[in-house]
Amino acid sequence: MNNSAKNMSGVYNIMPTPFNEDETIDIQSLKSVTEFMLSSGVHGITVLGVLGEAHKLTDAERDIVLKTVIDVVSGEIPVCVGTSHPSTYGCIATSERAIELGASSVMITPPKLMRPSDAAMRDHYLTLANTLEAPIVIQDHPSSTGVYMSTEFLLDLAGSELSLSNIKLEDEPSPKKASDLLSQNAEMKIFGGLGGIMFMEELRHGAVGTMTGFAFPNVLVRIYDKFNDGDLKGAEELFNRYCPLISFENQKYINLPLRKQAYYRRGIIGSPTARKPHAPIDQMTLDELDKLLHWADTQGDK
């Protein structure tokens, strides 16, 4: 098993998948937003997550996205790829394809079961760990998956297989669960999420970084760097300054189209199009977004 799982840390920004107005993949914008991630100083990127609208892509389109991103990244930073699938068999196939195309790690949610079963979930993840030649990031986000994974369950997985020690923790309240896990297994690598809204608290509780789609990844990198340099006050001040934008972007149900609008309005992608169906955004909300983006521009953040 690839031991690079030990080295995963920092800000892994979750990439959007840009579409043209006819909902076909916008390859040029995909290259542009990947280059933007590199210029933002992120430590890694995560593609084909929820923000990447992975569930709305065909298998052929997944390949196009991965090949394009990995070609632009050209080994500069790690690329984590969402490869969740309802079946263990399908998850293995999807993951192996991502690894073949250059994925550094794969992010996998627990499969939804007709009747919740820790034994079935444990078998799913252990089978993956014993099959895949790349680190696995377990996404713990019960509000979207409908699957609750207890602290004891995650500790058992991490204790059974090193490659299952990376957790994208989005089970609220995430800071406490991070502390609970790390107090019993300090080798676990906890990444925050939830749009970055609890980033400072997660870092203080032991998280090694975050995986989120916040459209100003350079801000997250600066917060992370200040925190790790021991400048806790500076990290807190920067986080608190951007909290209104972080909170606004992370509004439930419209966070995906909002983030696409943020990228579009800053000239990073050519269209804010999201694949239907998706929640609409009203004009007043767009006006409020413009005000926040103008404010961010006055701070010197692009």
pLDDT in tens, 80-89: 999 999 999 9
Residue 289 lies in a domain: no
pLDDT, position 302: 59
| Residue in the block written with tokens 């972080």 | 246
Residue 168 lies in a domain: yes
How many C-beta neighbours within 10 Å does residue 117 have?
11
For the domain that residue 135 is a member of, what is the CATH number?
3.20.20.70
Domain that holds residue 64: 3-252
Residue 275 lies in a domain: no
Query: How many domains is the chain partitioned into structurally?
Result: 1
173, with CB counted inside 10 A (0-12, 13-18, 19+), is: exposed
Backbone angles phi, psi at 190, to 5 degrees: -105, 125
Smallest Cα–Cα separation from 301: which of 218, 185, 195, 199? Answer: 218
Residue 292 lies in a domain: no
pLDDT, position 5: 44
Per DSSP bridges, beta strands 105-108 and 79-82 are parallel
Residue 124 lies in a domain: yes
Q: What angle, 0 to 180 degrees and rounded to 10, lies between the N-to-C axes of helices 255-265 and 232-249? A: 110
Residues in the chain where the model's pLDDT stays below 50: 1-5
pLDDT, position 1: 38
Task: Give the 3-state secondary structure of residue 256.
Answer: helix
pLDDT, position 301: 65
Residue 265 lies in a domain: no
